[in-house]
Amino acid sequence: MPAKYIFVTGGVVSSLGKGLAAASIGCLLESRGIKVNLMKFDPYLNVDPGTMSPFQHGEVFVTDDGAETDLDLGHYERFTHSKLSRDNNWTTGRIYEQIIAKERRGDYLGKTVQVIPHVTNEIKSAMKKVAQEVDIAIVEIGGTVGDIESLPFMEAIRQMRQELGREHTLFVHVTLVPFIAAAQELKTKPTQHSVKELLSIGIQPDILLCRTDRFLAKEMKSKIALFCNVPEEAVITAKDVASVYEVPLVFANENVDTLVLKHLHMEAKDRDLAKWEDIVHRVYNPKDTVTIGIVGKYVEYEDSYKSLKEALVHGALAHNLKLQLNWIEAEGLETGDKSYEAQLEGYDGILVPGGFGKRGIEGMLTAIRYAREKKVPYFGICLGMQTACIEFARNVVGLEEANSSEFDPATPHRVIYKLRELRGVEELGGTMRLGAWTCKIEPNTLAHKIYGVLEISERHRHRYEFNREYEEPLVAAGLRISGSTPDGTYVEMVELPDHPHFIGCQFHPEFKSKPLEPHPLFRTFVGAAYEYGQKRKAEKETVEVEMFHRPERVAGR
Ligand code: GLN
């Protein structure tokens, strides 16, 4: 049976959580035994978000096949079992790139190449490609209705309805119903306008997901239904929630899945959301808190570390803990004196995440040294592994000027360097080592204990790597290389055996962590951090008790 389609559009303002809505619908449908795939169209002209600033775009999510994609794909993978690739994220830039290549090849046989039908056909064939082998393809259109640049995508989904019919296509529109404090009222006008805008391009939404901060009363729903020409049951309260993992449950409460299946004339088994209910129960009933400090460069903009934050949440939930995350500006640790200690004190674990460029590196090295010497659990990801190696080379091996050639091309000790540069690979665009690579793990290491297997596959996004010329002195001084590519070329994991939990990886495990399957590296890091925090607390309490009971001894010192 050919797949059916759910098209998710957004109105009124951006950031209403269309991606989460699409992912949550996918999650709900999976819970009823439906096989889904998800994809996103981004209307901007960049070919992919790989070259965009994290401030502009947020995190670049990397898929197994090495595509640099929109962060919404991260939601799709965390909420569903869909296997995503470069086919699941298209920008206007990439669509046009295809068309122009075809035009240059002469594929259009002399015809005038136009937005309709050539661009829309290209968009439709991208949709059809991800719809193979699934029951339903959920297609999210980025941007907001009314944007000039999203028009070709809107037109393409309008054509899909024409082509396939109502029973095979469903339009979900995510909109805003704001509460206006001055009037003490929820307002439906923005939603009415947004639906009007959709209607003007020939799309009548079937379901309205209304983002609000409170439940929509029956009268409110019937008003929206009347003005927007949808059945009342299709006006859904998409209420703000404390945890994104609650959204599928909120939608289930509003019977979104039943509505979808009814519209698409599909039969499905009963809903089973027990695992998600358990996750949400943990979110609201933690036994304790674990405090992690992330030392990075883009810390003021959390979206740039979306998957990382979620992976830490998954790790904490696995131990029934609430995650207290503090973002520490790396540059702020470059104090030149010991005042950084006050900033780093009190964390149960310290993490240096991925990053590019020189800014804040010295601060990261300071934080790593602190974690290493004070035996605070440390987890270094990509740049965080590279800086851990630099710190070790400088402060343990004594190679004072050790560095990465990324930050100091003239350094006499390129502990981190660009192997491919030496092999004559051009630098510009797309030279990063991207996507899934196999890593062999050394037996009897922390990495082995964490993964429980000797071969893993993880996703990468880096240009520089560990320089094997420094393996001997670093290993002799106590660094353990616990993971490498099968051919031994790339170092993938390092650790310090004389530290309770100090581990670094060249890859990005955060991309593969899910709430229902917390990644072992995050689960164990958070576990070690909590244990360390508890031990430290107990020690502090012992000291306080001693001081209280034996004041003369303390005073006598
Ligand atoms: N800047 C480093 C490199 O390119 C690290 C990259 C990263 O952390 N993703 O190798």
Ligand 1: which of 406, 431, 466 to mutate, most ligand atoms within 8 Å of CB?
406
Is the C-beta atom of 356 inside 6 A of ligand 1?
yes
Q: How far apart are CA 402 and CA 380, in angstroms?
A: 18
Of the residues 228, 253, 278, the one at which a domain ends:
278
The helix/strand/coil state of 305 is: helix
The answer to whether the beta carbons of residues 175 and 195 sit under 8 Å apart is: yes
* 422 pLDDT more than 80: no
Residues 338 and 274 in one domain: no
Ligand 1 within 6 A of CB of 462: yes
| Three-state SS at 339 | coil
Radius of gyration of the chain (CA): 26
Burial, 290: exposed, middle or buried (Cβ in 10 Å; 0-12, 13-18, 19+)?
Answer: buried
Q: Give the chain's domain count.
A: 2
The minimum-distance atom of ligand 1 relative to the CA of 508 is 9
Are residue 245 and residue 301 in the same domain, yes or no? no
Does 508 participate in catalysis according to the annotation?
Answer: yes
Indicate whether 547 belongs to any domain. Answer: no
Q: Per-residue pLDDT averaged across 359-379, rounded?
A: 96
Angle between the N-to-C axes of helices 520-549 and 306-318, in degrees from 0 to 180, rounded to the nearest 10: 60
Q: For atom 1 of ligand 1, which residue has the closest CA? A: 356
Residues 304 and 268 in one domain: no
- Bridge partners of 381, per DSSP, are 505
Q: Are 457 and 436 in contact (CB under 8 A)?
A: yes
Ligand 1 pocket test, candidate residues 51, 359, 386, most atoms within 8 A of CB: 386
Determine the pLDDT at residue 549: 65
366 lies in the same domain as 231: no
- Same domain for 252 and 367, yes or no, is no
| SS3 (DSSP) at 146 | coil
Residue 263 lies inside a defined structural domain of this protein:
yes
Helices 218-228, 189-200: inter-axial angle, 10-degree rounding: 30
Residues 250 and 364 in one domain: no
| Same domain assignment for residues 233 and 336 | no
Residue 382 bears catalytic tag: yes
Q: Are residues 38 and 148 both part of a single domain? A: yes
Q: Which domain holds residue 487?
A: 287-538
Residue 550 lies in a domain: no
Domain edge (last residue) among 254, 278, 302: 278
CATH for 110: 3.40.50.300
The predicted structure's pLDDT at residue 448: 98
Retrieve residue 42's tokens. 């981004």
* SS3 letters across 507-529: CCHHHHCCCCCCCHHHHHHHHHH
Q: Say yes or no to pLDDT of 101 above 90.
A: yes
Same domain, 228 and 250: yes
Between the CA of 461 and the centroid of ligand 1 the distance, in Å, is 7
DSSP assignment, residue 271?
P
pLDDT in tens, 498-544: 999 999 999 999 999 999 999 999 999 999 999 999 999 898 888 77
Calculate how far, in angstroms, residue 54's C-alpha sits from the geometric centre of ligand 1: 14
Nearest one of 483, 501, 557 to 379, comparing CA atoms: 501
383 lines ligand 1 (CB under 6 A): yes
Q: Does any ligand 1 atom lie closer than 6 A to the CB of residue 406?
A: yes
Query: Catalytic annotation on 68?
Result: no
Q: What percent of the chain has pLDDT over 90?
A: 82
223 neighbors 41 (Cβ within 8 angstroms): no
User: What distance in angstroms lies between residue 259's CA and the mean position of ligand 1's atoms?
Assistant: 45
My answer on whether 155 and 269 are in the same domain is yes
Question: Which pLDDT belongs to residue 554?
Answer: 45
Identify the band that residue 169 occupies on the pLDDT scale cut at 50, 70 and 90: very high
Burial class (CB within 10 angstroms; exposed 0-12, middle 13-18, buried 19+) of 194:
buried
414-417/403-404 β-pairing: parallel
Indicate whether 341 and 241 sit together in one domain: no
b/e map of 314-328 (b: 16 or more CB within 10 Å)?
bbbbbbebbbebebb
Residue with tokens 């640099």: 68
Residue nearest to atom 7 of ligand 1 (CA): 354
464 within ligand 1 shell (Cβ under 6 A): yes
pLDDT band at 49 (very low <50, low <70, confident <90, very high): confident
Q: How far is the CA of 444 from the centre of ligand 1 (A)?
A: 28
Q: How far is the CA of 418 from the centre of ligand 1 (A)?
A: 11
> Residue 543 has what pLDDT?
78
Strands (E), 330-477: 349-352, 378-381, 403-404, 414-417, 433-441, 455-462, 465-466
Is 545 within a domain?
Answer: no
Establish if 174 belongs to a structural domain: yes
Stretch 172-176: mean pLDDT, rounded? Answer: 96
Please tell me the distance between residue 406's alpha carbon and the centre of ligand 1 in angstroms: 9
- Burial-class residue 425 by CB neighbours within 10 Å (0-12, 13-18, 19+): exposed
Q: What is the pLDDT of residue 557?
A: 38
| Domain final residue pick, 233, 252, 278 | 278
d(CA 496, CA 474): 11
18 and 77, same domain (yes or no): yes
Q: Please check the confidence at residue 553 and state whether its pLDDT lies above 80.
A: no
Ligand 1 within 6 A of 314 CB?
no
Whether 270 is in a domain gets the answer yes
Q: Mean pLDDT across the stretch 96-109?
A: 95
Q: For residue 376, how many other CB atoms are within 10 A of its CB? A: 27
Mean pLDDT computed over every residue of the chain = 92
Residue 552 lies in a domain: no
The CATH number for 356's domain is 3.40.50.880
Question: Considering the domain boundaries, does residue 54 fall inside one?
Answer: yes
Please work out whether the CB of residue 328 comes within 6 Å of at least one atom of ligand 1: no
Q: Is 58 left (phi over 0), alpha (psi -120 to 50) or beta?
A: left
